Amino acid sequence: MESPRFETVQEAVDFGILIQARKIQKTLKYETNLTVNAWSKVWLKEYIIEREPRKKTIKNREFALGVILEHFGAFILRDVTMSEYQAFLYKLKEEGRKRNTIITINTVASLMFTHAKRNKLITEDPTADAVIPKEKKAPRKIGEKRQVLPKFLEKNQLKRFLEVARFMISPNLWALFLVLAYTGLRISEAAGLQWEDIDAERRTIDVNKQLEGDNVREYSFGPPKNDQSERLVSYGDTVAKALEVLRSWQRTEKLSAKEFNPNDNFVFWSSEFPGYPIPITTIPKIMRRVLKEADLPTSLTPHSLRHTHVSLLASNPKVSLPEIQARIGHKGNSKTTTLIYLHVTQNRQLTIADDFEWAINS
């Protein structure tokens, strides 16, 4: 059989990895005493090849896999029964694991055992009919808040924050904070922005990727968080002026830079390495410094500016919840956005009874 031809070296390497995984899989099919631990290594490798998940997703999968292997690692794969697996889920609850954590662990177990069944290593999937134990919620006490509200800045607080930032930090960082607050972008989305993503005439930002990697000189791009996150975000005069200031600042900085990254044309730069993307991990610390100087709560984070954007939009009666969710790239069932929206619109909710009385009596 003629071997495939590859356009790049990387394609050839990837094909080699796939072939190796298949060889391992073929060997394991005939291994009668295959353990869960041994199969987990093959599954994780093939899962990464098939789905190309983000680094964060891989870390979450590895965490869950670690919990599963603590209990089932030495088990023969075919010997894991439905009753034993269900008892494992109950044990996780008894240990005090949160329901969301148990769901995460169950998802990984299901993926791994389903893959084993698909490859005819087992005849029954022990996770198929598993039941996730529920968490009993205590009744809310008088005066107790219904849910913990996400942190955000009030309008006057945001203005104060941006005023202090304007004179305390570089135009690059000030523009970043302003864009986060005025558009609702995630910090990873803003960090991955290139000037080509911004249409100055139509005043829109094309959110089509996010920045990945902790090292600014070894960065990479990843897809947006979910399907809803890929969107077109409009902006107004304030953001337009901030971007003009930023462009002017970048032209000056580029002239004096000893080393400059000529690739990718980032909107927000690293202060240490001009032209490279802004290091996401350092932004919370910088924000705390500005908050402290502005005499504002230092527990707020860059993500709080996203919540601030939601709260200010919700204060406008003309803007609906679905419109807000579409703008910030949230799913329609987002609890966070809904919670902020209901909190801000609470006063409007209290007048609905009067509106009904008017409607029925008019």
Bridge partners of 179, per DSSP, are none
Cα–Cα distance for residue pair 261/272, rounded to 1 Å: 12
Taking the C-alpha atoms of residue 12 and residue 349, their distance in angstroms, rounded to an integer, is 61
How far apart are alpha carbons 166 and 172 in whole angstroms?
A: 10
The three-class DSSP label of residue 165 is helix
3-state helix/strand/coil string of 11-77: HHHHHHHHHHHHHHHHHHHCCCCCEHHHHHHHHHHHHHHHHCCCHHHHHHHHHHHHHHHHHHCCCEH
**For residue 190, which of 239, 241, 255, 150 has the smallest C-alpha distance?**
239
Q: What is the pLDDT along the chain (362 residues), one digit of tens a residue?
A: 345 555 665 665 555 665 565 555 555 554 568 899 999 999 999 999 998 888 888 999 999 999 999 999 999 999 999 999 999 999 999 999 999 999 999 999 999 999 999 998 999 999 999 999 987 776 666 665 555 667 889 999 999 999 999 999 999 999 999 999 999 999 999 999 999 999 999 999 999 999 988 788 889 898 888 888 899 999 999 999 999 999 999 999 998 888 898 889 999 999 889 999 999 999 999 999 999 999 999 999 999 999 999 999 988 888 888 899 999 998 766 788 888 888 888 777 777 777 778 778 87
Q: Beginning with the edge strand found earlier in the chain, give each strand of the sheet holding 231-234 in spatial order.
A: 198-199, 204-207, 231-234
Are 124 and 77 a contacting pair, CB within 8 Å? no
The pLDDT assigned to 22 comes to: 56
Long-range Cβ contact pairs of 216-223 (< 8 A, separation 24 or more): 216/270, 216/272, 216/273, 216/276, 216/277, 216/278, 216/279, 217/273, 217/276, 219/276, 219/277, 221/192, 222/54
Residue with tokens 């910090």: 187
